[in-house]
Structure 1
Amino acid sequence: MDHRSAILGRMFIVLGFVLLIPFALGFQLFRLNFLEGDGLRTLWSKQATESIKIPAQRGNIYDAKGTLLATNAVDYKIAVDPKIKGFNDAHIRQISNKLAELSGQSSSVYYKKFKDAPEWSRYIVLDKNLSVLDKDEIEKLDIPGLIIEENYRRKYTFGTLASHALGFVNHEMNGRTGLESFYNDQLRGTDGSRIVRKDAFNRIYEYVGSPKKLPENGHSLHTTIDTYIQAILEDELQSGVEQFSAKYGTGIILDPRTGAIKAIANYPTYDPNYPGSDDDENRRNFAISDIMEPGSTFKLVTAIAAVEQGVVSFEEIFETPENGVKVIHGQPLRDHDPLGDMNFQEVIQKSSNIAVADIAMRLDKNVFYQYARNLGFGTPTNVDISGEESGALAKPFDWSGVSLPWLSHGYEVQTTPIQIAQAYAAFANGGTMMRPYVVERIEDEQGNAVYVHEPTSIRRVAKRSTIQKLLPVFESVVADSGTGASAKVNGLRIAGKTGTAKKVVEGRYESRYRGSFVGFFPVDDPKYVCLILLDEPIIGYGGIVAAPVFGNIAKRIAGLDGDIQHEMIAKEDTEEPIFATVPSLKGMNIDDAEDLLDTFRLSYDVEGRSGYVLSQEPKAGTALSSGEEIKLTLSETYAHQDSANVKEGYALVPDLSGMNIRQAVTLLNQSGLKTTIVGSGTVFAQYPRAGQYLRQGYTVTVRGKAKSLETLTAGLKK
């Protein structure tokens, strides 16, 4: 009996537990749905939804004439999901063949990517960086499981052109250098967001009716950069660096009346589309970050201070030692050659260190220091490009006994190229210094101006009467007997100064030099200030290495500026006065070519219906006399019925020879063709050859090489 009772007791206990389970489940359901339901539903919603960023589009950057310099481009990634119903091996072979046709690679490359992927993979990337034309071709295959993803990147339209001014962005589309960095907050905009659903496998789905915050796209920059002048500066700077085997070269061109920078360049350069492919040094903007002793270009400070303080007479004769060496406080000071006796103009014209030092020592050192500071040395220019250095100018109480005479010709002072350019711009502008700048205005997405730059006057550096007295002195530097004779351009009045300075290497002066020339033109109404500096050329003198680069640039800019052309004085030995110099028009859109010729007030005749300029007569650089006409032949010269010979989706490869790289790239882009660039400067070879038909989206390889004086006035000889 006891045994039976024990068994029944255990059964009742087990049955009790079994009966409690429904009650426990019911209570749990009640608790989950009613007692804690709201909180748990909120928690589930948070875990099953996610906020995804909607990226804002970065603003564009334009040149002074509205040409697009930097924008956002989209390319495409092609992938497949082989687990999608209906996908089979024939489909992967089909897409592999199409990708091979578009890229020029073997189809086995793509097929191998598919076969090497893990068995469970549902996302196999086959190719990246496809163009929109390539993407359209892939979409036409209508293959199940095909995945096409957009990828936005920063595109710099003309490659290396103005790269140091523009800068570049990192993988997060944030500016790292140049304008991209300085104006990063304005360019990048504000990202938006949207709410999406996630399943248990973390896959994302659209959430119908989900909240969404639209992005605010970045603002666009309209700069003062003139792409034609920029191209001239880069072309001639590269030519100078290569000709004189310099370590690097720097150039700046600005408008002294406003401070607007027309061009700024360094060579070697880099392509901001692929900034990591070049050396770090090539990405450095030496024009604003290279701290150096300027040499004789600094004599402008001594000249202005001495004339304005009345310590020098223009008729005074300065005697220099026969051996060209003078000892000052135990330190030898040398001229580049024994120069003999000179008046004040000849002191500057022939760049006598000894005579300039004698003049400077007549000045109180505090007065000299103040003139140097007034001309901008020792302080940043505050140009709107990131990376500027301020240089260094010691205060007079830190000077030694030889500081003043050595400062007088550009030693014991640390400057940047842009500070020198700013000082000469103040000289050219009648004594009023303007702050240099690059961005003229900033516009929002609708084209409304949110910022407009007003030219900023910093200070008056000297009396206008002082400047007027010194203009002929610095103009004489470019005369036949001056150190800057190589900068001379017939018919164009130029004033400037050469500079040659030894470099300090590991704390000691070595026989390594920086050669420079800075000047402005036309003297009677200066519109352009240009500084050229070459680092460690095989010949150190600025008058030999930098002055001719300046002269070539001035000649080519004069070919662009109609006002300067009409004011240029004809050579005395020319039988018929030169009316103008023929600009390079080959490769230009006919509308742009006509605008340029109309600006120069040149007569022309056009043969053809439309398109780009195929050829011109006379050639670029030819001197025109009054009444002469330029004949242009356009690319579209065939009858309309002949155009049927070009198949849909194909393009006729144009003849690019003689064009500069920028013109060639623009022309190929207009034809729907891609470009691979080898070298720089002027196109001398291309593949495929002109006249062949090529599928749009395919690539034309263009080879360029720099010539000393090509592009817009390319026919002139050095």
Structure 2
Amino acid sequence: MQKSPSRLRFRSLRNPEFTKRQKTSSQKRMEPPAFNSQDQIPNIRSRLFIVWGILITAGMGLAINLYQLQIVRGPKLTQQARSQQMVNLRPYTPRRLVVDRINNVLAVDRPVYTLFAHPKLFDKSNQQMAEQLAPLLDKNATELVKTFQSQKSGITLATAVPEAIADRITGLRLNGLELIQKYSRFYPAEDLAADVVGYVNVDRRGQAGVEYSQEKLLERSVQTVRLSRAGNGALMPAHAPDGFLHFDDMQLQLTIDSRLQRAARTALKQQMEKFRAKRGAVIVMDALDGSLLALVSQPTYNPNEYSKSDISLFKNWTVADLYEPGSTFKPVNVAIALENGVIKPDDMFNDSGAIQVANYTIRNAQHNSYGRINIAQILQNSSNIGMVQIIQKLRPSVYYNWLERLGLGQTVDTDLPFEVRGRLKSQEEFIASPIEPATTSFGQGFSLTPLQLVQMHGALANGGKLVTPHVVRGLIDSKGQMHYSPDRPKPRQIFSATTTQKVVEMMETVVTEGTGKVSQIPGYRIAGKTGTAQKASPNGGYIPGARITSFVAILPVESPRYVVFALVDEPKGENAYGSTVAAPIVKSVMETLIPLEQLPPSQPVNQAAK
């Protein structure tokens, strides 16, 4: 009988031999291994030594690194940390104001804004934005739309938006516009005193006028301070030193009077337009101390828009250009001759209309003769012949030394920039050629600046002293208290007071009886001298048909103090002379000067009119 597989399997499981083998195998697996302590001790020690070695090495590494950080690199790391925690800050310091003698503001720093547009952020159409901005920016709306379409962001619409306009733009609450504040130099009087004040460039550096020459006085001295910075980079005001944002209230005050400056400019422009002149200038000086009450040059420029102007206008030509003074130099020559005793006030001379000097024939401007005339009449008629005869009484070497004493061939020590040196022949050439003293006697053959001529006439007005012409009075505070006044050279005595008073009285006859009659003002004694000179050519000789007309006045004669000078370059027309072009300008300026300086009449008006 065949046995079933299940039964066979059951028996095999119950097989005693099989069960015994299975039990023995299980006991072998469950029985723990034997432990030998003597064999394991060296292994534990070696592991400890390894761990200790690692720890000691790590500790030594940390100690070395700590030494490097704290001792070797400590100072440098400390400096780096402080540089991250501290910031050097130089607060913005506006330039000092420039004011005139009556505290009218001529130059001031003001906040302005740069306006940027970001069309991608507009929540209105380009047309709507343009229509709202155009009136404020004084621009065409159509052009603004094209500007908005040029790019999506970062469009500069205006670079100097005034604060008032910026406030109006902000009030529109338009998205996509950005205003960035900055400071800009502003000149409220615009071109009125540009020749004196000058301008500053985009880097806030003076480029002309007192903005350039007085840079140190206009820049406030502010020290750089170190402030702590928080972890997020914000400044910590608690660590700011006391008063680091305090600025002084000093202002640079000038001697210029804006009222007189305006009157002089108006009169000058009228005559220049009438005679179609190339350029002109007016200078008014207080001869007692050399302060300039007015200094006008035309054409000029607007310092608020200097980039639109011709660069040649930035130099004030009354100090930066030379010219031959002509007959306005004759009174100075008379003073030289009187001071040397070679003539007397009542001396007579014969003007035949021409005089021979070496190989040259010298004539009067009108080619006429005046016969027997005294020195006052020589000035009245502007006689070249009479002046040559006066100077011929002086030895050329003596005459030349006097010209040098007056400063010819030198610069005038003034506070206006870019002044040039006058031109005078060398002493050897001057002495060797008789024609040189002769032409110099009536103001030709040498050159000087208009300001230098005014300085010399100032010596006639103040009793014979050469003073320093200047426009800077000093630094004053907001209460008008003077804190700093520039040191100037001491006035040099050139002529005696007796000599200068005689010359001024002779010049008075030019106004009462001679070529300066047009400058008369009822009740006031005025001395003057006209000048109509040929214009020298840069290439030598003279420019055909070109002339420079001028007139200089000193008032009041009984107590001379003020010098008023007008110069017009290349006036057109046959009637263009010092008496017709420049003298009316001087009269107009004096009519403004008299009430401003409260000059009393020299005599009653009724008596003066008789």
| Residue matched to 1:73 | 110
Residue of structure 2 aligned with 1:470, choices 503, 524, 536: 503
Report how far residue 141 of structure 1 moved: 5.0
Within 2, Cα distance between the matches of 1:286 and 1:27?
Answer: 80
Give 2:423's aligned amino acid: A
Please give the secondary structure, in 1, of the residue aligned with 2:605: coil
In 1, Cα distance between equivalents of 2:134 and 2:248: 37
CA distance in 2, matches of 1:143, 1:193: 39
Q: Given the superposition, is the C-alpha separation of residues 34 and 301 from structure 1 closer, same or farther in structure 2, using an over 3 Å criterion?
A: same
Aligned to 1:435: 468
Counterpart of 2:306 in structure 1 is 275
- Hey, what does 2:320 align to over in structure 1? 289
Amino acid at match of 2:517: A
Deviation at 1:261, TM superposition (A): 0.5
Distance 1:114 1:78 in 2: 13
Instruction: Map 1:78-477 onto structure 2 (within 5 A).
Output: 78-79=115-116, 89-90=123-124, 98-103=132-137, 105=139, 113=147, 116-118=150-152, 125-141=156-172, 147-190=178-221, 193=224, 206=235, 214=245, 219-321=250-352, 324-337=353-366, 338-341=368-371, 342-399=373-430, 400-443=433-476, 449-452=482-485, 457-477=490-510
Tell me whether 1:570 sits opposite 2:606 in the alignment.
yes
CA distance in structure 2 between the aligned counterparts of 1:334 and 1:162, rounded to whole angstroms: 41
CA distance in 1, matches of 2:582, 2:456: 18
Q: Deviations over 1:345-373 (max 9, x none)?
A: 21121111111111101112232223323
Asked if the contact 1:187/1:218 (under 8 Å) is kept, the reply is no
Cα deviation per residue 1:43-85 (whole Å; 9 max; x = unaligned)? 58758986564321100111111111111121122346789xx
For residues 227 and 264 of structure 1, what CA distance do their matches in structure 2 show?
Answer: 10
1:302 partner amino acid: N
- The number of residues matched between the two structures is 543
Aligned partners of 1:189 and 1:218 also within 8 Å: no
Compute the displacement of 1:268 (Å): 0.7
Question: By percentage of residues, which structure has more helix?
Answer: 2
- Which residue of structure 2 lines up, in the alignment, with residue 484 of structure 1? 516
The Cα shift of 1:305 comes to 1.9
Q: CA deviation at 1:492?
A: 1.9
Report the Cα distance in structure 1 between the residues aligned to 2:234 and 2:148, rounded to whole angstroms: 26
Whether the 8 Å CA contact 1:56–1:218 is kept in 2: the answer is no
Map Cα deviations across residues 209-252 of structure 1 (whole Å, 9 max, x no partner).
67686586695211111111111111111112111111100111
1:513 to 544, 547, 572: 547
What is the match of residue 53 of structure 2?
A: none
- 1:688-714 deviations in Å (ceiling 9; x for gaps): xxxxxxxxxxxxxxxxxxxxxxxxxxx
CA contact (8 A) 1:522 1:564 kept: no
TM-superposed CA distance for 1:132, in Å, is 2.1
SS, match of residue 357 in structure 1: helix
1:620 match: none
- Contact 2:100-2:106 at 8 Å conserved across structures: yes
**Runs (5+) with no aligned partner, structure 1:** 1-24, 575-718
On the 8 A contact 1:191/1:215 being kept in 2, the answer is no
Question: Partners in 2 of 1:497 and 1:59 — Cα distance?
Answer: 41
SS in 1 for 2:266: helix
Amino acid across the alignment from 2:332: V
1:547 corresponds to? 583
Determine if contact 1:74/1:151 at 8 Å carries over to the other structure: yes
For 1:72, the aligned partner's letter is D
What is the DSSP-based 3-state SS (H/G/I as helix, E as strand, rest coil) of the residue aligned with 1:562? coil
| CA distance in 2 between partners of 1:457 and 1:41 (Å) | 57
Match of 1:530 in 2: 564
- Which of 582, 590, 594 is equivalent to 1:558? 594
Cα 1:107–1:304 change in 2 (3 A) is closer
Report deviation, 1:108: 6.5
Q: Which has the higher strand share?
A: 1
Query: Aligned equivalents of 2:140 and 2:284: distance in 1?
Result: 49
The CA distance in 1 between the partners of 2:273 and 2:132, in whole Å, is 44
Match in the other structure for 2:46:
none
Q: After alignment, is 283-292 or 390-399 more displaced?
A: 390-399
Alpha-carbon offset, residue 96 of structure 1: 5.5
Q: Tell me which amino acid in the other structure corresponds to 1:276.
A: S
Q: Is the 8 A contact 2:122 2:176 kept in 1?
A: no
Q: What is the identity, as a one-letter code, of the residue corresponding to 1:530? A: V
- Between the aligned partners of 1:328 and 1:566, the Cα distance in structure 2 is 43
Q: Cα distance 1:394–1:204, how it changes in 2: closer, same or farther (>3 A)?
A: farther
Partner of 2:18: none
Shift of 1:128: 3.7
**Percent of aligned pairs sharing the same letter:** 29
| Structure 1 position 148, deviation (Å) | 2.9
Closer/same/farther in 2, CA of residues 350 and 168 from structure 1, 3 Å limit:
same
Map of 1:616 onto structure 2:
none
* CA apart distance, 1:443: 3.3
- Structure 2: how far apart are the matches of 1:95 and 1:151? 24
Q: CA deviation at 1:130?
A: 2.4
Unaligned runs of 5+ in 2: 1-57
Cα gap change, 1:26 to 1:168, in 2 (>3 Å): farther
Q: Which has the higher contact order (CA 8 A, sep 6+)?
A: 2
Structure 1 residues 173 and 409: alpha-carbon distance in aligned structure 2, compared to 1, 3 A threshold: same
> What is aligned with 1:497?
529
More deviation in 150-159 or 306-315? 306-315
Contact 1:290 1:389 in 2 (8 A): yes
- C-alpha distance 216-394 of structure 1, shift in aligned 2 (>3 A): farther
Deviations along 1:14-67, one digit per CA (max 9) or x if unpaired, are xxxxxxxxxxx9999999998559656865875898656432110011111111
Q: 240-249 vs 29-38, which deviates more?
A: 29-38
Amino acid at match of 2:548: R
Q: Distance in 1 between matches of 2:134 and 2:228?
A: 37
Post-superposition CA distance 1:114-154 (Å, at most 9, x none): 55444xx5x55454432222222333455677643212111
For residue 90 of structure 1, report the CA deviation from its aligned partner: 4.5
Looking at structure 2, the residues matched to 529 and 47 of structure 1 have their Cα atoms a distance apart, in angstroms, of 63
Alpha-carbon displacement from aligned partner over 1:399-451 (angstroms, at most 9, x marks no partner): 12211111111122221111110111110112222221211121368976431
Answer with 431-440 or 99-108: which moved more: 99-108
The letter for the 2-side match of 1:102 is L
How much has 1:498 moved relative to structure 2? 1.4
The alignment partner of 1:563 has SS state of coil
Post-superposition offset of 1:319: 1.6
Alignment check: 8 A CA contact 2:122 2:175 kept:
no
Of 209-218 and 531-540, the range deviating more from structure 2: 209-218
Q: CA deviation at 1:207?
A: 6.3
Matched to 2:97, the amino acid is N
- Taking the aligned partners of 2:131 and 2:555, their CA distance within structure 1 comes to 60
Distance in 1 (alpha carbons) for counterparts of 2:474 and 2:604: 33
Taking structure 1 as reference, are residues 157 and 500 closer, same or farther at Cα in structure 2, changes over 3 Å only? same
d(CA) in 2 for partners of 1:116, 1:488: 65
Instruction: Kindly indicate whether the alpha-carbon contact (under 8 Å) linking 1:218 and 1:444 is maintained by their aligned counterparts in 2.
Output: yes
- State the superposition RMSD in angstroms: 3.8
Residue 313 of structure 1 aligns to a residue whose secondary structure is coil
- TM-score, normalised to structure 1, is 0.68
- 1:598-635 Cα offsets, whole Å, 9 max, x none, are xxxxxxxxxxxxxxxxxxxxxxxxxxxxxxxxxxxxxx
What is the Cα deviation at residue 88 of structure 1? 6.3
Query: Counterpart of 2:304 in 1: which secondary structure?
Result: coil
Cα distance in 2 for partners of 1:81, 1:286 equals 46
SS in 2 for 1:251: strand
